[in-house]
Structure 1
Amino acid sequence: MKRIFLFFVLAVGFNLALSAQVEAVEAADQAVEDTQEALEGAKMEFEKTTIDYGTIEQGSDPYRIFTFTNTGNAPLVITNAKGSCGCTVPTYPKEPIPPAQSGEIKVRYDTNRVGPFTKRVTLTTNASDEPIVLTIKGKVEPKAEEPEGVPSEGGNMFNSGGF
């Protein structure tokens, strides 16, 4: 009888220990799933992270646009966008971008600065703990000047009605 009782106690104890482990494993699995969902959140994907202006003339169109999509499962919030110097000025959406929606970062570079350039725009978002860096580059050549002594539009003094 003692053996049957001992066997019964051991069986019940083993069963309790086993069910406790199963519950612990299930709880751990649920915690991993919850963490993965929380980590996914907003996700910012760009069509491209570098835009090359190419060779442009001084004073030409200073704007370029970076297009992105929120591929995550939570609204994307851009909290800051900062150019690497005063000659690079970004404009970004202030309202949250819902999942599966797109937005634009508009960057203005001062094209009155002659010479090659490589500038960066650093974004702070809720999509990543690390900043996102966008790059613009190109070369600004001086505006071609009209040679001296060549009359401008309107002709010369002899056929302009001046005499």
Structure 2
Amino acid sequence: MNAAAEEAATDAKANPTIDNPNVASDVEAPNPDAPVLTFAEKQFDFGDIRPDSKVQHTFKFTNTGKTPLLIADATASCGCTTPSWTKEAIAPGATGELQVQFDSRGKQGLISKQVNVRANTQPNMTTLYIKGNVLTN
């Protein structure tokens, strides 16, 4: 055995890899009882939008899981888009709403924005999309 091979063998003995399924990992195990955030739609097209106007759309959702659903946060991809949502816990089978308002002031042409919704679900992030065409004056 050459010196490099001996060193590798020594390192392997000193630092053995242990495959133990009971050790925590970065991947969270699926919870079959977790809440499930099910949106009726995940994207909406406003079509033509008048300049300097505000338009809004309501995304409706249902908790199709087995435990209460709680939306922790909803963040938009820019300051022109403002989400607001049901803050109370949503019981299994119950519904809620997330409203998205878009302000066309200072915008023109085709727009595409996203809203990231973080909840106590697995996975914990759901992305909604809005788009439209801001007309010129």
Q: Same fold (TM over 0.5)?
A: yes
Aligned to 2:56: 63
Shift of 1:131: 1.1
How many angstroms apart in 2 are the aligned matches of 1:73 and 1:129? 15
User: Aligned pair 1:41/2:34, yes or no?
Assistant: yes
Distance 1:135 1:66 in 2: 10
Report the counterpart of residue 90 of structure 1 in structure 2: 83
Residue of structure 2 aligned with 1:120, choices 114, 118, 122: 114
5+ long unaligned stretches in structure 2: 1-28
Deviations 1:88-126 (A, max 9, x none): 110011110111111111001112222210000001111
Q: Which amino acid aligns with 1:75?
A: P
Query: What displacement does 1:61 show?
Result: 4.3
From the two aligned structures, give the one with the greater strand fraction: 2
CA RMSD of aligned residues (A): 1.7
Identity within the alignment, % = 35
**So what's the TM-score if we normalise by structure 1?**
0.62
Paired position in structure 2 for 1:136? 130
Structure 1 gap segments, 5+ residues each: 1-34, 144-163
Q: Deviations over 1:54-82 (max 9, x none)?
A: 11211344111111000111000000100
Q: Which has the larger radius of gyration?
A: 1
* TM-score, normalisation: structure 2: 0.73
**How far is the alpha carbon of 1:128 from its aligned partner?**
1.9
Q: Which has the higher contact order (CA 8 A, sep 6+)?
A: 2
Comparing both structures, which one devotes a greater share of its residues to helix?
Answer: 1
